[in-house]
Structure 1
């Protein structure tokens, strides 16, 4: 009998799918267990040429569990070389977002007016360069209208409309947005956000009610997000995350 996956495991696989077809580029998961597991799971299964790192400065030859040091180190990645990879489009990063709009503009800087914000967040950090130069995806663990907003309070990561306005579309590539409820993409004529799939147990109506703008829908109906294979579940549970840190990020 195939084991029943948790919602967190469905989310890991949905995030891993963002790296499908990338080949030999650096896969960087930022901001939690789910994204790191996604890059490592993709490397161990359908995308073996992916380059992964320890989250600091070591390129890993093996794929260690969360929290463990690699046993095989392929190289050293100082910050200057990391920046070179970003500027050359050789890094696919999966970021988080405090706000995101229908064209994929994101905010991690502040909530409210920029001059007098209600809340100060991280600042734009590397979001502009990442989103203009490299494939970028997003992981949002709490899908709500407070995150999915009609207009972000400040643009940190660049969306499709602003990239086009600035003439910066050449390398701009937003792949997908994965949340605890669904997978979303920008496979529309005007590059607005589309509901690509809903996770098992989630309805389209739930996702629509949790989104602060109108979502495009695929022709023929919204499919269900694929569930992990038996092999993927075994890798997650026995090798990559035996401590189940994934389930703390997305409770069952």
Structure 2
């Protein structure tokens, strides 16, 4: 029986796992330590059909601990086939974001003016095709006004306003499912498809979230706490998936 209280990182893991609840046989593409733990937790519990990779080109059939080799390999997924899978929509990616605005536009390319940026980042990468062809969520381990901005400096991942402006070809498969941060869970289930606070992690206040966000969030009248991990989920996180506690490096204890 688990007696130790769940940490902030473990609440974040469960919130990430929930993004793949009921996803069926789709490829989970988690980017970041906490999302990787979340995807593995989802497969071990409420989403057993979820497809996982070893982070490179192998589809794996078991759920090894982070950093361990898979014992069961189900298939080969080279880059070309991976792109075909993405274009077909059978994937739910959880990406990071250097900047994210109220409409869900994401930037991972550069900070500052395109002609002379103050920071060069990853580049656009696969963000446009991810957001236009399969469900996309975001993981932000440090919720701050530097990330959540009024307007991103460059659009990499496509938000709801730009998808709508581009027309049906862009909106057909476009869906930003969730944004999970170290403060709470957010979505875009509002009439104008702008970011809404869905739940707060325990110990976080509305004032903290508002101060850490560079735009005005939609905040419902009542905001619940993020779902608490079950004893079995805590056991799986601590003993099976992440026994080395790598999650605490990404999300500091509250």
1:187 aligns with 2:172: no
Partner of 1:169: 171
Partner of 2:24: 23
Partner of 2:146: 146
Quote the offset at 1:3 in angstroms: 2.8
Distance 2:186 2:111 in 1: 23
Runs of 4+ in 1 over 4 A off after TM superposition: none
Q: Please report the TM-score for the alignment, with normalisation by the length of structure 2.
A: 0.97
Partner of 1:137: 137
Quote the offset at 1:21 in angstroms: 1.5
Quote the offset at 1:2 in angstroms: 4.1
- Structure 2's unaligned 5+ residue stretches are none
Q: CA RMSD in A?
A: 0.8
Partner of 2:51: 51
1:101 aligns with 2:101: yes
1:4 aligns with 2:5: yes
Within-5 A mapping of 1:177-216: 177-216=179-218
Distance 1:41 1:86 in 2: 23
Distance 1:92 1:207 in 2: 26
User: CA deviation digits over 1:150-185, x for unaligned, max 9?
Assistant: 000000000000000011111001000000001000
How many pairs does the alignment contain? 250
Distance 2:149 2:228 in 1: 28
Distance 1:202 1:123 in 2: 33
Partner of 1:222: 223
Partner of 1:117: 117
Distance 2:103 2:80 in 1: 31
